Amino acid sequence: MASTEKESRFLTIVNDNRQLLYKVCYMYATDRDHFQDLYQEVLANIWEGLGAFRGDSALSTWLYRTALNTCVTFYRKHNRHSSEMTSLELADGLMADDGVRNEQLHEMYRLISKLSKIDKAIILMWLDERSYDEIAEVTGFTRNNVATRLRRIKQRLVDSGNRDE
């Protein structure tokens, strides 16, 4: 792939899927510096893998795979434990149309931040209305395993949310 053609394709993919990449990085970042590190790492891996992408899978599936793999394997030198306090700082960057839903999003973000990295990947794709098959393809679990884990994750989120009310 020629350099300029690759650059053009890279910019198009990143700009068209910015929301997807931002949401993945937000889900795993614990503060703004961490977000920037993750986002940079994700973009670098997309750039490196772009030449090998032949369209065997959907572009969104490929981007999820690259972004999630980057985030779950990323390790910072001074790793702060993911907690509700750090996630709220980033949640301020998220916007909904009204204050009530904004509050609910913050709460959901706080609860999701407590999940393991694998569970975050599953719930994130479910929230983005990806099919069970696509989630299984990206995560490497079977479809039934994804369904079971998703059921547990949702129950845990509901229980945590009700407990805090």
Partner 1 sequence: MDINELKNNWNSMSIPPDYHAGVTDDILSRVERGRVTTLRDRLGNISRMLSQICCVGVLLMIPYLHESPTLGILAIAFFIFMGVMHFRAYRRVSRLAFSEMTVREAILTVANIDRDRIRLRAIGMALGLPLAIYMCFTFSEVFGDYYLYGCVAGAVVGLGIGLLINRRAVNIIREMRAQLNPEQ
Q: Residues interacting with partner 1, by CB under 8 A?
A: 7, 10-11, 14, 18-19, 22-23, 26, 35-36, 39-41, 43-49, 52-53, 62, 65-66, 68-70, 72-75, 93-97, 101, 104-105, 107-108, 116-119, 121, 126-129, 137-141, 149, 154, 157-158, 161-162, 165
Residue (of 95, 98, 1, 82) closest to 34 by Cα position: 82
CA distance 104 to 107: 5
Smallest gap from Cβ 41 to partner 1, in A, equals 6
- Please say which residue, 14 or 88, places its beta carbon nearer to partner 1: 14
Smallest gap from Cβ 113 to partner 1, in A, equals 14
Smallest gap from Cβ 131 to partner 1, in A, equals 14
| Cα Rg of the chain (Å, integer) | 16
∠ CA(139), CA(71), CA(145), 5° rounding? 20
Length of the chain: 165
Task: Look at the block and give the residue holding tokens 């490497």.
Answer: 140
